[in-house]
Amino acid sequence: MALVGALALAGCQPAVDVSRAKVDRRLPPAEEVLIPLVIDEDWRPIVPDAIQGKQVFDANCAVCHGASGDGNGPMAPTLKAPDVDVLTAFLSFFHVELQRPPLPSKPINFHNRDLENVITPAILYETVTQGRPHTAMPAFGPEASFGANKAQTLTNKERWDANAYEMTFRTTPEELSAAKQLYEGQCAECHGVSGDGKGPRGPEMAASLWSWARGEGPGIFTDINYIVQHNPSELTNVVLDGHVLMPSYRGKLTQAEIDGLVDYIYTFFYAHPPIK
């Protein structure tokens, strides 16, 4: 009876014409949410430390990659890729195992610039965290990717520290020292001595580039989110060809000088021994 009464009352309500009603269809302004990438387990920002990273590397990575990062660690000759793929996973449901010879797996050589130039710090971290499928590179994070082995779990900070240390294999203290002098003479006027975009011409750049004014994005080397998502080749191309207000240095700097600058730029996002 209550339902019948409600329907009856509803039917007695006066009709309202809303066809001419004014509706504000404007959306509220979008709010930009920056998701930090270099964080600890509690989502707090961290600064990778190459000095501490050496300890992590020596204890967990050198056995395969070698103490000098050349890929010739004591276990390197014996490493085999896990025999796990879509086919083996499917057959495992029927308790069928394929008999295939194991494939050798060679650890990466961190001195190989051709390879390292196309790898961003973020991808390197992801590899250490989830492992590399179908190779002997295990996961040092909580879970391994499909087709990857699982090693002991390292903290987010330990994995980032190890990555920072691995990046030092690309260069030498002498090369970084020369690059620092070149940077301070050629680049610091805009980018700042500390890479924060607060050089003498920083206000001029900020007036033209909104991201520069916010202290983030291209040209702000202390923007850790930006820098870890760009590989050395991308930074090299910007130095060579310029970008927006950034002039081209093609023909003005040697390739060795550009390589040194790129390596030096990365040092702004992690702690390291003093560069003289």
Mean pLDDT of 153-169: 97
Q: Which residue has the higher pLDDT, 142 or 14?
A: 142
End-to-end CA distance of the chain: 89
pLDDT at position 21, please? 55
For residue 262, CA distances in Å to 21, 116, 147, 171, 236 come to 60, 12, 34, 10, 7
pLDDT at position 81, please? 84
Q: What is the rounded distance in angstroms from the CA atom of residue 94 to the CA atom of residue 74?
A: 38
Mean pLDDT of 27-46: 79
On the question of pLDDT at 111 being above 90, the answer is yes
- The residues near 47 (Cβ < 8 Å, ≥ 6 apart) are 38, 224, 269, 270, 271
Read off the pLDDT of residues 168-181 as tens digits, 9 standing for 90 and up: 999 999 999 999 99
What is the rounded average pLDDT for all residues in the chain? 88
Task: Categorize the per-residue pLDDT at 267 as very low, low, confident or very high, splitting at 50, 70 and 90.
Answer: very high
All structural domains of the chain, each given as residue ranges with its CATH number in brackets, are 50-169 (1.10.760.10), 172-269 (1.10.760.10)
Q: What is the rounded distance in angstroms from the CA atom of residue 160 to the CA atom of residue 50?
A: 9
Read off the pLDDT of residues 82-101 as tens digits, 9 standing for 90 and up: 877 666 677 677 777 767 77
